[in-house]
Amino acid sequence: MISILVILLETIWAIRINYPPSLQQISLNIVSPFSLWLLRIISLLLLFAAGNLISRLLPASRRRLYYLCLLLSPAFTVLWLCFPLDCLKIFLLSIIIFFVFNRRLSSIIAIFIILIFLIIFNLKFLHQRPPILSALNIHQSQQEVTRRISQEDSTNPHVNLPLWFRRLSYNKYFVTFKNAIYVSMNFWDVESLFFQEIHPLDQKSVVIFYWPQAFLLVIILWLFSARLPKIFRRQLLLLLIISWLYFLLADDIVYKRLIFVLFWLPLVFAWGLSRLFKSPGRWLIYPLIILIAYGYLANYADRRRRPDYWLDNRPLIYSHLFQSPAVGNYHQFHSVYLADYYGLAAKYCRYYLRQCPNFSYTNFNLSVSSLTSDSLYLGYIGNFIGQKNDNNFDLNSFNIWADQHQLTIIDHFSLRDTVVFSYGNDLFIGYHP
């Protein structure tokens, strides 16, 4: 019943904010709101299927708790709302895991299969270059060694140790190992999983688990870890390794690199909660339930109040620009110039306007070039008066510049966060007769 309520609340939130197609969705040539929501429903079904496959590691009586722990996470909703390719990756990965556990394959073979799958999917379909590949690049490590030794040679007083001695620690293999360890250890980022901020209203990153769940995990491991069935412990260890590989082989924002943890850590929660409710220490769970409920409701209220704080601002930019009445009458102008920093403005234009025959997608700079007559300009303040390294622009100076250049400001809105640094947080739609 609680899981159904959570699903209903999250669906209402998704419909209410009416978030525009994400960069990943628009890159798949989404052309209408119908196709957008159809893709989102498919993504949601893929995630449910993935959760169902992984939950089969638990007895049927404990799966309801698993689904509840899974659905409580806002990261689950944001995933199907914005990232269909990541939903597909998680679904395919869950199929591999289900096959591995049911066929009792060797852990080494399983890890090898999953490693190949993640590399191919991330490189081929998501066009990512994972940081671990750069860390393992011997050529880059050799350049780093040369740079470090050169810096030491230029110090005053001079480093007098022989070069052969310094190369015992400064060599390309040692540096490669050091870089790989550094990238790998970032996975153990408890703050990104639980403690981005102590209060959920003050964090920018999408929440994976609420901070009271960290205490729940500690209590479960403390009381019941020794009682875990041996085969379940082995499965959890393999899932932990898979999550670590998932993190290493992705090049994305932190919570998306850690997202697969969301699909297996609820196994521990569900197993532990079912045991905790039957133990003498079950009183511990009630204050934690209250805190987790508080965390969810506070986070949900904040997401309703300011979705632009939680979600990517870039799709909102295109939504504001293309839904402006002036842009809707684009056929009245000789030319429309739109600043495009992500290479997707043409696809967004087709989504909102269907046809865009007189649009020019160029990162114009009107501080060094002249304005074209009977043209509409859509861009950041830096596109009009030039870039500023401190990203600090004065709106009064811009208004004076617009008057001097006979640019009529039709629409203006400000972003909460910087999207293109040195171009400012204000976007303008201007007309030059």
Question: What does the domain layout of the chain look like in residue ranges?
Answer: 2-135+182-310, 313-432
Structure tokens at 54: 């992984």
pLDDT at 199: 45
Of all residues in the chain, what percent carry a pLDDT higher than 90?
A: 18
pLDDT at 39: 95
For CA atoms 92, 94, 97, 103, the dihedral sign is: negative
pLDDT range class, residue 137, cuts 50, 70, 90: low
**Spatial separation of the C-alpha atoms in residues 328 and 333, rounded to whole Å:** 11
**Spatial separation of the C-alpha atoms in residues 167 and 184, rounded to whole Å:** 24
Rg value, the chain, Cα: 26
Three-state DSSP string of 403-427: HHCCCEEEEEEECCCCCCCCCCCEE
Answer for the pair 177, 132: CB distance below 8 angstroms, yes or no.
Answer: no
Answer for the pair 258, 244: CB distance below 8 angstroms, yes or no.
Answer: no
pLDDT at 200: 45
pLDDT at 42: 96
pLDDT at 260: 93
pLDDT at 130: 76
**Spatial separation of the C-alpha atoms in residues 16 and 9, rounded to whole Å:** 10
pLDDT in tens, 35-77: 999 999 999 999 999 999 999 988 888 888 899 999 999 999 9
From 47-56, 204-213, 259-268, the region with the lowest mean pLDDT: 204-213
pLDDT in tens, 350-394: 898 888 888 888 888 888 888 888 888 888 888 888 888 888 888
Structure tokens at 160: 């007098």
Residues 6+ apart with CB under 8 A from 287: none
What is the pLDDT averaged over residues 13-20?
A: 91
For CA atoms 280, 281, 287, 288, the dihedral sign is: negative
pLDDT range class, residue 262, cuts 50, 70, 90: very high
pLDDT of residue 244 exceeding 60: yes
**Spatial separation of the C-alpha atoms in residues 231 and 26, rounded to whole Å:** 43
Structure tokens at 268: 């521990």
pLDDT range class, residue 166, cuts 50, 70, 90: low
pLDDT of residue 198 exceeding 50: no
pLDDT at 175: 66
**Spatial separation of the C-alpha atoms in residues 110 and 374, rounded to whole Å:** 62
Task: Find the DSSP H helices in 27-62.
Answer: 33-55
**Spatial separation of the C-alpha atoms in residues 373 and 433, rounded to whole Å:** 5
From 31-35, 293-297, 368-372, the region with the lowest mean pLDDT: 368-372
pLDDT of residue 186 exceeding 80: no
Burial class (CB in 10 A: 0-12, 13-18, 19+), 174: middle
pLDDT in tens, 315-334: 888 888 888 887 877 788 88
